[in-house]
Amino acid sequence: MALKFRKMHGLGNDFVVLDVRDGKMTVGPDLARTLADRRRGIGCDQVMVMESPKTPGTDIFMRIYNPDGSEAGACGNGTRCVAKVLMDESGKGACVIETVSGILPAHMADGGLVTVDMGAPRTAWNEIPLSEERDTLHLGIGDGDTLSDPVAINMGNPHCVFFVNNVEELSIEHLGPSVERHAMFPQRTNVEFAQVISPTKIRMRVWERGTGVTQACGSGACATAAAALRRGLIGRDVEVVLDGGSLFFHIREDDGHILMTGAATDVFAGEMAA
């Protein structure tokens, strides 16, 4: 049986997109690991699965798998890519995507970019979740030298944001794994390393839970913008510069929702023996 797929990326954060809305195939952790393998499969940072909608008013239910087979609750760059697929398919300028973490409206923006309403950040210790009650604005973990006092944020998945003086100097492939699996995070965590350039610009690099270093992480950039706003370091409009390019954010004052705008790029479509 041939498995049809699309390869896409958002700022170099790459995805295998599968459409199983016809119900003829199910995707689980084993298949996701195979597809994500860059030597034996197609290769990607995440596998995005388009399932039939579960809630009235939504266009699809989107499931997200990491390369290790674990399921993710959110993926901002992947959501933009799937939103582009849906809008190209329907010819409409908007769509609504449901995930295990909530409902995400999306629309086409200027210049062929895609905007997704990523919702409001969750900041209570048990919403992250943490293993014990802590002030999530000043978490108080780190090595006390290179990394210290991060902010904990949940954007549909857990994030730990460190503000540093020079993000380019950091060996995040060595720093990320220990923070991801820190005892403070019972579900592990994504780890962001952020340098505030100005009140409207942040440079960020990321270690993604279950994946490793990636070129970009949409939910991580959202978490970084939210953390910086909570610390009073930026305003409500900010550019976050990742290794793969820039994402643009507006954080609404009335409800705290984070609107993320960025590219969603088709690479190729193909078939793989399933």
Residues with a known catalytic role? 75, 217
Q: Which two tokens stand for residue 90?
A: 């329907």
- Say if residue 69 carries a ligand binding annotation: no
Look up residue 34 and give its DSSP letter. Answer: H
Residue 218 annotated as binding site: yes
Q: Residues of 89-116 as b/e, b for ≥16 C-beta within 10 angstroms?
A: eeeeeebbbbbebeebbbbbbeeeebbb
157 annotated ligand binder: yes
41 annotated to bind ligand = no
The annotation status of 78 as a binding-site residue, yes or no, is no
Helices 76-90, 218-230: crossing angle, 10 deg rounding? 120
Cα dihedral 162, 168, 170, 174 sign: positive
209 annotated among ligand-binding-site residues: yes
Buried b (16+ CB within 10 A) or exposed e, 136-165: beebebbeeeebeebbbbbbbbbbbbbbbe
Known binding residue 208? Answer is yes
Contact (Cβ atoms closer than 8 angstroms) between residue 52 and residue 21: yes
77 is in an annotated binding site: yes
Contact 81, 90 (CB under 8 A): no
154 is in an annotated binding site: no
Show binding-site residues for substrate: 13, 46, 66, 76-77, 157, 190, 208-209, 218-219
Show binding-site residues: 13, 46, 66, 76-77, 157, 190, 208-209, 218-219
